[in-house]
Structure 1
Amino acid sequence: MSAIRFEPTKQYYATTSLVIGYALCSSLLAVINKFAITKFNYPGLLTALQYITSVVGVWVLGKFGFLHHDPFKFDIANKFLPAAVVFYLAIFTNTNLLRHANVDTFIVFRSLTPLLVALADTIFRRQPCPSKLTFMSLLIILGGAVGYVATDSAFTLTAYSWAFAYLVTITTEMVYIKHMVMNLGLNTWGFVLYNNLLSLMMAPIFWVLTGEYNEVFAALVANGGNWFEPVAFTAVSFYWVFDLRLVSETCKLDL
């Protein structure tokens, strides 16, 4: 009997450790993102570095046999492109939210996504409704978020505009990505590769549309071609490391 109980217990501890690892990386990444965008104030370029880190990380680990990802095929990429656009917009609004607001505001709006995703899954994907206790818990979180907004002394229209844009895009991304992955049959690491590689390809378009390329070139000229001050380099380095770590924890959790 003890041998029979061992495997579920082992699985329980493995799942718990992954959840804790994901929560820790996700929480730290929000703080590190804020630090990075404060010291390296180019959101488009910063997110492009995130995509490069994820793509190179998955490709290298795949080459060494540590993981398996679906090969990149243009026909699949074409089908996956709408989901990648939504993903890019979610990351774009995320970074700009952290650029204009504090981490507390980001966390509050992020905490609303389970409620919106649950409703969207029920309406658009015909998934079962959350249980009464689950729904009540999500409503309590909503009440806390409303209270935070009502008493936020750092309220600005710009910050909350980005917050609502982020909330819409991240909810859409979470629901739509599940739909696309299920239909295309990508494995978890293949999903990471397609998402980040296609987003990296889109990044230059947004650099031009937002005019960020002018800011980057102006900074290069002003600093004599030196992009990174030591503090900025440290912030971006932490950003790279924790982004790849978060991808790893997320994918292991999904698997």
Structure 2
Amino acid sequence: MASIASKQYYATSSLVIGYALCSSLLAIINKYAITKFSYPALLTALQYFTSAFGVWVLGKLGFLYHDVFTFETAKKFLPAAFIFYLAIFTNTNLLRHANVDTFIVFRSLTPLLVAIADTAFRKQPCPSKLTFLSLIIILGGAVGYVMTDSGFTLTAYSWAFAYLVTITTEMVYIKHMVTNLGLNTWGFVLYNNLLSLMMAPIFWFLTGESTEVLEAIRLSPRIGSTWTPLLL
């Protein structure tokens, strides 16, 4: 029993450390990407395509198994994918207008909000007193950061609050959807990214980003001469 508990402890610890490392690196990479390629809707669409296509290809090659894409399941999963899209969209815009520190501070608040939402809406057990105290301490640190942030801008913090709301909603709602639909991990990834990719063009036009991209293509010295006749 002791050896089993020890293995479970190390497995859980490895997952936590791995998640923290991936999450941190992802924030830095996305910040670099949005700095060099300032079209958040198009950038995220490329990420959705890469993820969905990668899962599909690896599934075809037999390296993984994902649930088959069906329109019936897609209709049920669509609200969750929409919230996921909003979470990623606000995430990217937050990184576009703020530094990584601000993003990490607001992201660190999500466990507290998710714990409260899980208890209120999903009837999950309340966190232990020590866990809740730890989350409150994190909240205090976040408040202190906001009060002393020399780079405070209304635009950045508007995106930060929008991200906080959407990512909390997404985390809670996704748990509900995955539990009810019975999707496996790779099926969840496929549905989330493929449906988000389908929604991307809507946001390109709503945000006016499509016009910006076309204008950038037209003005590009390398490809403008080739594509300008087609865009006019």
| Structure 1 match to 2:148 | 151
Rounded to whole Å, the distance in 1 between the matches of 2:222 and 2:82 is: 32
**Residue 131 in structure 1 maps to residue 132 in structure 2:** no
Aligned mates of 1:213, 1:143 — CA distance in 2: 40
Of residues 37, 41, 46 in structure 2, which corresponds to 1:44? 41
Partner of 1:70: 67
- Paired residue for 1:102, among 64, 83, 99? 99
- Which residue in the other structure is 1:183 paired with? 180
By how many angstroms is 1:66 displaced? 1.5
CA drift at 1:53: 1.2
Q: Report the counterpart of residue 22 of structure 1 in structure 2.
A: 19
The superposition leaves residues 189-223 of structure 1 with CA deviations (integer Å, 9 ceiling, x where unpaired) of 11110000000000000000000011101111111
2:67 counterpart SS class: coil
Report deviation, 1:24.
Answer: 1.2
Compute the displacement of 1:45 (Å): 0.5
SS in 2 for 1:60: helix
Q: What displacement does 1:150 show? A: 0.3
Task: Please name the residue that 1:172 is paired with.
Answer: 169
Identity %: 80
Q: What is the CA distance between 1:5 and its match in structure 2?
A: 4.9
How many angstroms does 1:117 deviate by? Answer: 0.3
Instruction: Verify: 1:88 aligned to 2:85, yes or no.
Output: yes
Question: Residue deviations 1:55-87, cap 9 Å, x none?
Answer: 011111111222111000000000110000000
How far the C-alpha of 1:23 sits from its partner, in A, is: 1.5
- Distance in 1 between residues matched to 2:200 and 2:129, nearest whole Å: 42
Gaps of 5+ in 1: 228-255
| Alpha carbons of structure 1 residues 225 and 80: separation in structure 2 relative to 1, 3 Å | farther
The offset of 1:98, in angstroms, is 0.3
Residues paired across the two proteins, number: 224
Correspondence for 1:60: 57
- Alpha-carbon distance between aligned partners in 2 of 1:5 and 1:162, rounded to the nearest angstrom: 47
In structure 2, C-alpha distance between the alignment counterparts of 1:39 and 1:22, rounded to whole Å? 25
Query: 2-side partners of 1:145 and 1:181: how far apart?
Result: 31
1:34 to 2:31 alignment: yes
For the aligned residue pairs, the C-alpha RMSD in angstroms reads 1.4
| In 2, Cα distance between equivalents of 1:226 and 1:111 | 42
Match of 2:10 among 13, 20, 26: 13
User: Equivalents in 2 of 1:21, 1:180: separation in Å?
Assistant: 25
| Deviation, structure 1 residue 9 | 3.6
Taking structure 2 as the reference length, the TM-score comes to 0.93
Q: Counterpart of 1:41 in 2: which secondary structure?
A: coil
Other structure's SS at 1:142 match = helix
User: CA shift at 1:19, angstroms?
Assistant: 2.5
Instruction: Give 1:239's aligned residue.
Output: none
Q: Which amino acid aligns with 2:106?
A: F
CA distance in 2, matches of 1:163, 1:139: 19
- TM-score with structure 1 length normalisation? 0.84
Shift of 1:11: 4.0
2:189: which partner in 1? 192
Cα offset for 1:226?
Answer: 4.0
- The answer to whether the aligner puts 1:222 opposite 2:219 as a matched pair is yes
